[in-house]
Structure 1
Amino acid sequence: MISVTDGDPLLIAHRGFAGENPENTVRAVEAAAGSGGADWVEIDVSPTADGDPVVCHDAALSGRGGPLGTPADRGLTDATGLVWETDTATVTAAEVLDSGETVPLLATLLDAVPEHVGVNIELKFPDGGPVGDHAGGTLDPDALAARRAAWRPFVERVLETAEARDGDLLVSSFHEGAIAATREVSNVPVAPLFSEAVSDGLKLARRYDAAAVHPPIDAVRGTPFFDASRFGDADVVAAAHDAGRAVNVWTVETWYEAARLESAGVDGVIADYSVV
């Protein structure tokens, strides 16, 4: 369960420990849940042109360098096109980072996660393309109603699949529309992701009674990584804990970062590597 803890922070495998495994694949989550020792796995879920939830971070099937030292002109997969404009058969046949693994359906990946390991689903790219929500921001009532409605069909598909699995589940997103739609159709715990204003992230957490907040590493006050020029006097850990919400921080790369974050009182580290 995602909650405030006095013990060691939860180890949350970012895309199935993307620094050491082909990200968001069955192999990645099997390794993360097994020898990687993850308490949770974090995955990215977006729709294909057929509306099927697949596990893929990028909007495009190609066009960016990946982890594991791949060159900048190497695409995430050997296919091309935007995920939400591409049929399911093509997306799920796309090979990820020359690994022999392909982009999985959400249902297929969830079958590979043991019951004792929680799953954090990050919702991405509904409604046939990128949404207009500002990452980490809040929406006015009219915009919120429109974005919640746009997200709802995809959210329903995702939750129908995910809630059939035994084990802990958390839904996170940078987009208020996604969190609002999740709250509208389910009691599954939610967590707003944000990269800018802490106040917006905390406001969304209050609005949707979130179980946790997911700030970036440089938003955590009391660490060497804190960026006062961006976050001022904000103390996201104290504010979240005062409200009974956990703080899970992204993206953690080293044992040093993890140790400093633990000292600052965070509840989970969303990490690219299993040894942090």
Structure 2
Amino acid sequence: MLGIPNIDRRTVLEGTSAAVLGSYVGGAASAEGHGDSKSSGNDSTALIAHRGFAGVYPENTVAAVENASRGGNGDGAAKRGADMIEIDVVPCGGRPHEGDDFEVVVFHDDRLASRDGGERGLTDHENTLVWETPCSEVRNAEVLESGETVPTLREALSAIPPSVAVNIELKNPGDTDVRFAEKLEGDELEARKDVWRPFTRRVLDIASEFENHVLVSSFLQAALATTREYDADIPIAFLFWDSIDVGLEITDEYDCEALHPPYNMVAGSPFFNDSYYIDDPGFADIDLIERAHDEGRTVNTWTVGTWYQASQLVDAGVDGIIADYPGLLD
């Protein structure tokens, strides 16, 4: 069990930490819809540090998760610390599904250097696939010229206090055919689960060594399916991408405790259907917050970068914001 309290995973918890606890057990908001949650304000909205507040710290590093846990370093420490820290995991040193030896590292991209065609690489290593690179090289790769290097999952979790929850995003199992944000069936799904199973198991075995409450999320259906196989009590969240309908299908199939939509999928906010990572998305006219709360699920939205975005999303009724900066809920 991954630090999950001995209660039903949809239990409504009281107090100012209700939203963050609800982020992984579900049901933080009223089942009457999201009107009630508007009055709860910033104090009950979970602040989730995206890659350890990637806007101010070198993402997915020990320094990032340490600083995010306490609200900053030096003068910045007066800011609110994260209720939950989101980190990404991939394998290094081999392909788990092919029986290779591997380690789990905290890293977002498939490759060590390139990002979005930019000139500045994510690390100072040559642009190789993480799982095709020896772990010694991956762990010595410097992140964003910060002096920080790529940590293992154990190293990152060791730097996060037990009182701070952790959102582990299963990013890639060591394969280029991940079937991103797709709803799979039958043999296609079983084939992808076979690829994911050894990596998922290793990640969750490591997480079980720590006392932090854990929420597992992914854009990839098979990652959530294999998490449910490992332990049906581990809270999970599907990361919505380009379709509300697909996201809801996967959420319903695996009875996800939380929904993680982009902020432009939040009806009732001024950002609904805005161009964000895709132009003119044309999302279905569905109120995800109302539906989620009616079903006892929570809604944590990504990726929030400004105070204005945060305030509008809180007013719309979200339970948590996955944010690049501390202080957005202060």
The TM-score range, normalised by the shorter chain, is: over 0.9
Aligned equivalents of 1:130, 1:270: Cα separation in 2: 26
Q: Following TM superposition, by how much is the alpha carbon of 1:72 offset from its aligned partner in structure 2, in angstroms?
A: 2.9
The residue aligned with 2:189 is 144
Q: Following TM superposition, by how much is the alpha carbon of 1:131 offset from its aligned partner in structure 2, in angstroms?
A: 3.0
Q: Following TM superposition, by how much is the alpha carbon of 1:232 offset from its aligned partner in structure 2, in angstroms?
A: 2.9
Larger RCO (alpha carbons 8 Å, 6+ apart) = 2
Aligned residues with identical type, % of pairs: 51
Gap regions ≥5 residues in structure 1: 66-70
Following superposition of structure 1 onto structure 2, how do residues 51-62 of structure 1 map, counting pairs within 5 Å? Answer: 51-62=102-113
- 2:282 is paired with a residue whose SS is helix
Aligned equivalents of 1:89, 1:240: Cα separation in 2: 43
The residue aligned with 2:212 is 167
Work out whether 1:220 is the aligned partner of 2:266.
yes
Aligned equivalents of 1:63, 1:180: Cα separation in 2: 30
Aligned equivalents of 1:254, 1:109: Cα separation in 2: 26
221, 232, 241: which one aligns with 2:284: 232
Work out whether 1:248 is the aligned partner of 2:300.
yes
135, 141, 154: which one aligns with 1:94: 141
Does the CA-based 8 Å contact 1:42-1:120 persist in structure 2? yes
Does the CA-based 8 Å contact 2:245-2:284 persist in structure 1? no
Aligned equivalents of 2:202, 2:248: Cα separation in 1: 27
TM-score using structure 1 length: 0.94
231, 255, 268: which one aligns with 1:209: 255
* Cα-to-partner distance string for 1:14-37 (whole Å, 9 max, x where unaligned): 000000000000000000001241
Does the CA-based 8 Å contact 1:9-1:268 persist in structure 2? yes
The residue aligned with 1:77 is 123
TM-score using structure 2 length: 0.79
Q: 1:95 is aligned with what amino acid?
A: E
Aligned equivalents of 1:232, 1:192: Cα separation in 2: 17
Following superposition of structure 1 onto structure 2, how do residues 19-38 of structure 1 map, counting pairs within 5 Å? Answer: 19-36=55-72, 37-38=81-82
Aligned equivalents of 2:228, 2:168: Cα separation in 1: 14
Work out whether 1:272 is the aligned partner of 2:272.
no
Gap regions ≥5 residues in structure 2: 1-20, 30-36, 73-80, 95-100, 275-280
* Cα-to-partner distance string for 1:147-187 (whole Å, 9 max, x where unaligned): 11110000000000011110210000000010001100112
Aligned equivalents of 2:66, 2:264: Cα separation in 1: 30
* Cα-to-partner distance string for 1:48-104 (whole Å, 9 max, x where unaligned): 124211000011100127xxxxx9301000112110111111100100011111000
Does the CA-based 8 Å contact 1:125-1:131 persist in structure 2? no
Does the CA-based 8 Å contact 1:47-1:84 persist in structure 2? yes
- 2:302 is paired with a residue whose SS is strand
- 1:230 is paired with a residue whose SS is coil
RMSD: 1.4
24, 28, 45: which one aligns with 2:89: 45
Q: Following TM superposition, by how much is the alpha carbon of 1:261 offset from its aligned partner in structure 2, in angstroms?
A: 0.4
Aligned equivalents of 1:225, 1:219: Cα separation in 2: 8
Q: Which runs of 4+ in 1 moved over 4 A?
A: none
